[in-house]
Chains A and B, each alone.
Chain A
Amino acid sequence: MVGLIFAALLAFITRFTKKVRIIEPLLVFLMVYLAYLTAELFSLSAILSMTFCGIGCNKYVEANISQKSRTTVKYTMKTLASIAETIIFIFLGISAVDKSKWAWDTGLISCTLIFIFVFRALGVVMQTWVLNWFRLVPLDKIDQVVMSYGERVPAKDYFVATTIIVVFFTVMFQGLTIKPLVNWLKVPRATNRKPTINEEIHERLFDHCLTAVEDIAGLKVEFDKNYLSKLLREYRKSELWEVYQKINIRDAISVIDQGGNVLTSARLSLPSMASRASFPEVTNVTNYLRENGSGVCLDLQVIDNVPGAKVEEESETHHFLAGNLYKPRRRYQSHYSRHFMTVGDHRERQDREIFQRNMKSRMETFKTTRHKRLTETRRTRRGSDVKEQDLNDKPRRNVSWQDKDPVVVPVESEDEKGEHLEPEKEEDVGITFVARKVPDTPKERPKSVPAGLEVCQSPSMAPPSPTCSERNLPWKGGIGTLPVCVSMEATKIIPIDLQQAWNQSISSLESLASPPGPVEPLHPRVSALSRLGGQRPVSYSGSGVSGSGFGSRGLGEEKEEEEGALSDQEQELQPLMSSSVRPPGPPPPPPLAQGLGRRRNPCVYLRSLVTAPPPGSEPLARSRGPTQL
């Protein structure tokens, strides 16, 4: 109980550690230790409290703290654990040979051993029997045997010798024999086989299918953990995005290493980068990184060469799929409640008739279920994009969702801010993204480049928007708490630690980067950008599916973001417009070139935006509450 309390406390605190990432590991350890001490204080079982603290906070803390902190905590724990284990066994060995403490009693020892077996088996059987009520795949008898055999907790006993013998027995004998036993019992071992493309696709299909059927059958129970998650988990714009970006970065690196000779099959093209062309072979960066599971490692000497283009092709395709396949809504939504930004959008694109048919009913249901869906807005955001669009449009604009000239009217009253921010946000998905990002950027990133880059990542999901200005201008939206919302946001598309990697990859990618251009006056930019905006209505949404595309697109998006800041109308309906048009491919070179020049200026540009709100953002004075818990 004490442990759980501390777990909750820890999770709650880590929710706010966005700005002070460095102390996160320390915080974790200290809170756990505090749990231990508190339990000791009340003469309760301290070890158990620590255990439960760890168990309880695991999920939330993992989501809340940064990648680096996670790694730190993990490896520190591993180190401490092995040190402790070593010391324990040393003491064990020493006391074993210390004859003075021995008191041998054969009967006691053998009884103890027998009882260990019996009770352990019994305990496991009981537990699994209980668990089987809730599990889809019931544990077999075999699994039970393995579990009981694997228990290595030595039984407590009055006699030291017995304890020692018991421990010896469990450790040595069972530890040594468990492997052959498992093999003998033919327990199906977890395979690390990479699924084939086929399997990936089909599995994803099955997931979708299952989700759909669950919905149809109406069997899904409303998940109360949503509230818990809301409370304890840091607001994350999208975890999917972070993963996606990581994948992109890895792909980018691998592409760099290939010197731009990218897979023909995937048609990923990138102007070859001379900087890394010296690496002759296809590198295994992505696979290597994946195995490590840690942040991006740019130490290319560590990377082995993988023979064959086919393997590389395969991994690229895997990444591509992983990044692009829609993810179905999971049964347990704790982590993944913010998925599916593009799913709805996609559906709109493909199934307009269904959408239109259901729009009316959805409007009502959406309003009523909005509260419930607060945590699921990420998932529904895209889908509700147009829905909300129409939802809000009906009172406000004339809508067909191809309408390119929305008239935005500030609407939301403050009491409904929470809810309405959601649909507002949903209307301009990208807007919310960007909005949140940028204010953080100037504060957190001393360098302008990463800030810009970071910002340019955000619109990849949705149209960049002028909200950067709105965001900082609370009076615009008429929502007084806008700055408050912003401060609570504290989200980044790319975590800080990845931004540097991103930065590096970008810089290496852009070996032909032109020197940073001067800060151009707003107007030429406006005109240039709005001109460009027409050309690429959709590419905002593509944040570079794979390494090849992303370089150019990343900059493209940056441009999008800038232009988006100014030409709201287009951005408004870009999610909608895009639905009917598949992006033709990487954006044309001219914007790329310009993007390069402007790459270093986005932050400055945005700041200038903030200070001098462009006229274009006026119509968008609608409340763009980025807050979303």
Chain B
Amino acid sequence: MIWCAAVLPNTNTNSMNRWFSCFLFNIVTPAHIVRLYDRFEALDKEKTGHLRPQDFGAINRLAMNPIGDRIIGAFFSPGQETVDFHSFVRILAHFRPADKKRPKDPSMPEPVNSRTSKLKFAFQLYDQDKDGKISRAELLQVLRSMLEMQVTEEQLESIADRTIQEADLDKDDAISFEEFRKSLEKVNIDHKMSIRFLR
């Protein structure tokens, strides 16, 4: 922990406590942190210790990604203009493989990389206005960005309608987080949303 503090001169003690909690649950190891810090510094071209959206935008391949923008946005907490290293790692920690053997203890806070947290992260990608529901319009937006250009508006809308129809259980024409989770219960989220940080 101490040498980590040396590596990360910008973090304050509060963050350090949070680091500790990360370690405690073994989500992100020190080796990962170092690697990610290198990456953080590589992205942070002006060495301010914070990342701005432009820094993310500099990643070429992200521009090829239909939802790259949203992902970038997900790194920033609402109202914040920059991302510090702690938040950076925290968001990336979402993508660690979940620990299946962790006993389900309701008193402890849900670890960042559990299935629920991953789903919540994905849900937030859809739900930009953070009202807890994916409205039809939001769904349309995402669909529009993910589908190729020759798709007409009608087709888009029909797909969106279908999606909502399939998932919406309480018939409010929007997908809440619970409905979202239920519709994906058979999908192996852990496999789909995990990356293996190279050791």
Find the A residue at minimum CB distance from B42. A218
* A585, B152: Cα distance in complex, Å: 6
Find the A residue at minimum CB distance from B154. A267
Stretch among B9-17, B19-27, B56-64, B104-112 lining the A interface? B56-64
Residues of B within 8 Å of A369, CB to CB, are: 60
* A320, B160: Cα distance in complex, Å: 13
Is B195 interfacial (CB 8 A cutoff)? yes
* A363, B102: Cα distance in complex, Å: 47
Residues of A within 8 Å of B59, CB to CB, are: 215-216
Find the A residue at minimum CB distance from B65. A212
Q: For residues 40 through 82 of chain B, which have their beta carbon under 8 Å from a beta carbon of chain A?
A: 42-43, 54, 56-69, 71-72, 75
Find the A residue at minimum CB distance from B182. A198
Residues of B within 8 Å of A579, CB to CB, are: 149
| CB contacts between A and B, total, < 8 Å | 206
Is A287 interfacial (CB 8 A cutoff)? no
Is A582 interfacial (CB 8 A cutoff)? yes
Beyond A205-B146, A218-B43, A328-B65, 11 additional contacts (C-beta under 8 Å) are A137-B97, A197-B159, A206-B122, A212-B68, A212-B71, A218-B39, A340-B64, A344-B63, A351-B68, A582-B151, A585-B152
Residues of B within 8 Å of A350, CB to CB, are: 66, 144-145
Residues of A within 8 Å of B8, CB to CB, are: none
Do residues B149 and A209 form an inter-chain contact, with CB atoms below 8 A? no
Is B87 interfacial (CB 8 A cutoff)? no
Q: For residues 316 through 364 of chain A, which have their beta carbon under 8 Å from a beta carbon of chain B?
A: 317, 320-321, 323-326, 328-329, 340, 342-347, 349-351, 354-355, 357-358, 361-362
Do residues A213 and B71 form an inter-chain contact, with CB atoms below 8 A? yes
* A316, B100: Cα distance in complex, Å: 37
Q: Name the distance in Å between B103's Cβ and chain A's nearest Cβ.
A: 18
* A199, B167: Cα distance in complex, Å: 10
Q: Mark A126-142, 1 if CB is under 8 A from B, else 0.
A: 00000000001100000
Do residues A351 and B69 form an inter-chain contact, with CB atoms below 8 A? yes
* A585, B155: Cα distance in complex, Å: 10
Do residues A203 and B63 form an inter-chain contact, with CB atoms below 8 A? no
Residue from the list A317, A321, A347, A539 in contact with B64, Cβ < 8 A: A347
Do residues B184 and A201 form an inter-chain contact, with CB atoms below 8 A? no
Residue from the list A136, A266, A325 in contact with B97, Cβ < 8 A: A136
Q: Mark A261-279, 1 if CB is under 8 A from B, else 0.
A: 0000111100000000000
9 contacts between A and B (CB under 8 A): A198-B167, A204-B146, A205-B142, A212-B71, A219-B39, A324-B151, A342-B149, A582-B152, A583-B149
Residues of A within 8 Å of B194, CB to CB, are: 136, 210
Residues of B within 8 Å of A281, CB to CB, are: none
* A209, B142: Cα distance in complex, Å: 12
* A268, B150: Cα distance in complex, Å: 13
Do residues A210 and B95 form an inter-chain contact, with CB atoms below 8 A? yes
Is A578 interfacial (CB 8 A cutoff)? yes
* A579, B145: Cα distance in complex, Å: 12
Is B198 interfacial (CB 8 A cutoff)? yes
Stretch among A23-31, A77-85, A94-102, A541-549 lining the B interface? A541-549
Q: Name the distance in Å between B125's Cβ and chain A's nearest Cβ.
A: 6
Residue from the list A193, A201, A215, A358 in contact with B65, Cβ < 8 A: A215
Q: Name the distance in Å between B68's Cβ and chain A's nearest Cβ.
A: 5
* A267, B191: Cα distance in complex, Å: 35
Find the A residue at minimum CB distance from B139. A201
| Given contact pairs A206-B193, A212-B71, A362-B60, A346 touches B186 in the complex (Cβ within 8 A) | no
- 10 nearest A-B residue pairs (beta carbon): A542-B150, A212-B71, A218-B39, A267-B154, A198-B183, A206-B192, A383-B64, A324-B147, A324-B148, A215-B61
Residues of A within 8 Å of B69, CB to CB, are: 351, 354
Residues of A within 8 A of B (CB): 136-137, 193, 195-199, 201-219, 221, 265-268, 317, 320-321, 323-326, 328-329, 340, 342-347, 349-351, 354-355, 357-358, 361-362, 365-366, 369, 379-380, 383, 538-539, 541-543, 545, 578-579, 582-585
Is B6 interfacial (CB 8 A cutoff)? no
| Given contact pairs A198-B166, A198-B183, A214 touches B64 in the complex (Cβ within 8 A) | no
Residues of A within 8 Å of B62, CB to CB, are: 212, 215-216
The secondary structure that dominates the A interface is helix
Q: Name the distance in Å between B60's Cβ and chain A's nearest Cβ.
A: 6
* A328, B62: Cα distance in complex, Å: 11
Q: Name the distance in Å between B65's Cβ and chain A's nearest Cβ.
A: 5
Do residues A317 and B162 form an inter-chain contact, with CB atoms below 8 A? yes
Residues of B within 8 Å of A545, CB to CB, are: 148, 150-151, 155
Q: Name the distance in Å between B92's Cβ and chain A's nearest Cβ.
A: 5
* A207, B95: Cα distance in complex, Å: 12
Residues of A within 8 Å of B35, CB to CB, are: 219
Residues of B within 8 Å of A197, CB to CB, are: 159, 162-163, 166
Residue from the list A221, A325, A329, A585 in contact with B146, Cβ < 8 A: A325
* A213, B125: Cα distance in complex, Å: 13
Query: Max chain A CB contacts within 10 Å: which of B75, B152, B189, B196?
Result: B152
Q: Name the distance in Å between A186's Cβ and chain B's nearest Cβ.
A: 15
Do residues A208 and B150 form an inter-chain contact, with CB atoms below 8 A? no
Do residues A361 and B150 form an inter-chain contact, with CB atoms below 8 A? no
Is B177 interfacial (CB 8 A cutoff)? no
Query: Max chain B CB contacts within 10 Å: which of A204, A216, A266, A323?
Result: A216
| Given contact pairs A206-B192, A213-B71, A219 touches B163 in the complex (Cβ within 8 A) | no
Do residues B65 and A343 form an inter-chain contact, with CB atoms below 8 A? yes
Find the B residue at minimum CB distance from A358. B57
Q: Name the distance in Å between A539's Cβ and chain B's nearest Cβ.
A: 7
Residue from the list B121, B183, B197 in contact with A199, Cβ < 8 A: B183
Residue from the list B64, B147, B186, B197 in contact with A217, Cβ < 8 A: B197
Do residues B58 and A358 form an inter-chain contact, with CB atoms below 8 A? yes
